[in-house]
Each structure stands twice: as structure tokens, then as C-alpha cells.
Amino acid sequence: MKFILSLFLIQSVFAYVPTVESLFRHGQNPDVTSGAAVVSLAISDLNSSDKSKKDFIKLVFQKNSLDSYRLDQLMFENETFGDQAMKSLKRMPIVSGASLRSEPEQALFFSSLISILFNNGYHLVSTLKSQGIGVKFNNEIINRTKIDYLVSYKQYLVKINKDWSLKKTEPNPLKPEDADEKAKVDQVMNDSIYLNTGHVSYAKFDDLGAWKISGQDFEGYVSHEARQIRSLRLNTKGKLFDFHYRQYFRADGIHYVPRFIEFKSSTGQHLLVEILTSRLVGEGSDAIFPKLKKWEQVYKNQLELITKPAFLM
């Protein structure tokens, strides 16, 4: 199997175009095994005359499935994020592309955070699909014919490794004797493992190399080497939502997140979200979880089971 993968990589490296889902995996970060994350934010209204005023919010994501997360949103009086500064607790049991279909700005914001925090490109693709953007999951565009040839070749290698004499009689599926069939096999093996949907192209963003993701009413940029989301722009129902992600830093010493997320909309909103802290945690094992249970009791009259999050308060 390692041989087959190596063969594929050698064939594909010069013509490689990443898929939308792989670009949204935030590939510079190490693999994530945690099912929960805690993020502390300071949100400023750049249209406000009081530039010092900020909302302090803590988000707690817990994974339900690949396409669904639970979100607890806690609002505080100040940056201490202490018990005495707690103002409100809101909960969204399911954060998914489908659950936020009618709230595109919230969907794009939370889904991009999930992409960055959990290396989950699937969730962001699902969100875009729910907004009518024609992007595809990896499993929708995999080159099945090439996979079949690779599986046949693996079976061939297993046979001849067991009995080397079979090499004289066992047909090599990648080297058929018929010229037309061989040309067909060669063409398939020269193709990418994923079919090119035309949504991804190489471009420039802020004068640096980037991957551009284009779809009807959507445009996104991901940095070429670091694979960090730089910009997401969605035009839906006559409204434009524009996010820019800047100054990535290692929030926990290992995983990169953007320090700032700037949000603009055609309705006049202009907000700056600053990520103060971010950490991945084991589900139920972090100190935040008993605090959530306590706060549920303290704020049970304010706890809202909401169908949409109050993203920009």
C-alpha cells in the first residue's frame, strides 16, 4: 500500500490542485484528536464612537459528528472571564450547515472557526453547500476508476510477492498488452486521485501566493503553503458578508489560529473579533465543563435553547 501511495504522489505532485475540503482542513496544524475546544473572544464594533467598548465572549464547541457541533456561548462583563463577570449563557445544541441555513453570516463565522480549530474542512464545505454554493466533498469527486486500478495493482503485487514465478503469467493491470487498453490505463493513472471541479485555482492574495476557491456567489482565499484561511466572501439574498483572517499565531503553542477576524457586511456592520485564547480539550475533562454545569443552574432562567446563535451582539 505504501508503494501505491508513493507511486501516486510521484505522479501527482507536478499537476497537483487541492480540493476545497482539503484546503479548509487548515493543514499546517497537527492532526486534532480532541472533540472539544474553548475560545475566548473580544469583539469590537468598528462603527462605534466608543472604540474602547468590547464584548467578551467565550465559545465552547463540543463535537457531535463530522458535520455537527454543540456550542455554548458565554458572555462576560470584562476580560477576566470570571464567575463574577458572567452575564449570560446561550446554547445551540446543533451547529451545522443545515441548522444555520437561514443565518449565512453566523454559519460562515462558526463553521470557519470549526475548520480552523478542528482541522475540519468537511463542516465548512457542508455550510457552503447549504448556502447553494456548488462545491463538493472529497468523497463526491474521488476518481473511482483510478482507485479500482490501484486496488487491482495491489492485488497483483500481493500475488507475485507470494510466488515470484507468477510474474511471467499474471497480467499486470497497469500494463495491459492491448495498446488501446494501455493508453486508457495510462490516461487514468496520470489523472488526479480527485476529479477537478474547477472551483480551485492558484492566485495572489495580498501579493502572496494563495489558493482561490470560487463558486457562484462565493469567493475564498487560503494561503498557498501554510493552508490558512485568509478571506471568505459570500453574497446571498442580496447581502454581502466578508470575513478576513489575519495574524495567525500559535494559541496553545502548537496550533495556529488567527489573532483577528474582521467582518464587514453590505448592511453596514463592521466588527473586529480578536481571539484572546484558544485551546483544544478532552470532552468533559477540562475545568470548563463543571463550570458550565454550575452556570446552567445559576443562569437557568437566562439559559436559552436557541435555533441560532447571537454571534454579533
Q: What is the pLDDT of residues 202-221, one digit of tens each?
A: 999 999 999 999 998 999 99
- The rounded distance, in Å, linking the Cα atoms of 89 and 73 is 6
Q: Which residue, 220, 222, 250, is CA-closest to 30?
A: 250
Q: What is the pLDDT of residues 72-97, one digit of tens each?
A: 999 899 999 988 888 888 888 999 99
Q: What is the pLDDT of residue 303?
A: 57
pLDDT of 306 > 70? The answer is no
Q: What is the pLDDT of residues 16-42, one digit of tens each?
A: 789 999 999 998 899 998 999 999 999
Q: What is the pLDDT of residues 231-245, one digit of tens each?
A: 999 999 889 999 999
Helix axes 144-162, 2-12, angle to 10 degrees: 140
Q: What is the pLDDT of residue 273?
A: 96
pLDDT class of 254 with cuts at 50, 70, 90: very high
Q: What does CATH list as the number for 27-137+199-305?
A: 2.50.20
Q: Where are the domains of the chain?
A: 27-137+199-305, 144-190
Q: What is the pLDDT of residue 302?
A: 62
Strand order in the sheet with 239-250: 200-205, 208-215, 218-223, 229-236, 239-250, 256-265, 270-281, 36-45, 55-65, 68-76, 86-95, 304-305
pLDDT of 308 > 50? The answer is no
pLDDT class of 301 with cuts at 50, 70, 90: low
Geometric angle at alpha carbon 82, from 116 and 280, rounded to 5° = 25
The one-letter amino acid code at 191 reads: D
Percent of residues, the chain, with pLDDT higher than 90: 62
Q: What is the pLDDT of residue 61?
A: 95
Backbone angles phi, psi at 309, to 5 degrees: -85, 150
pLDDT of 313 > 50? The answer is no
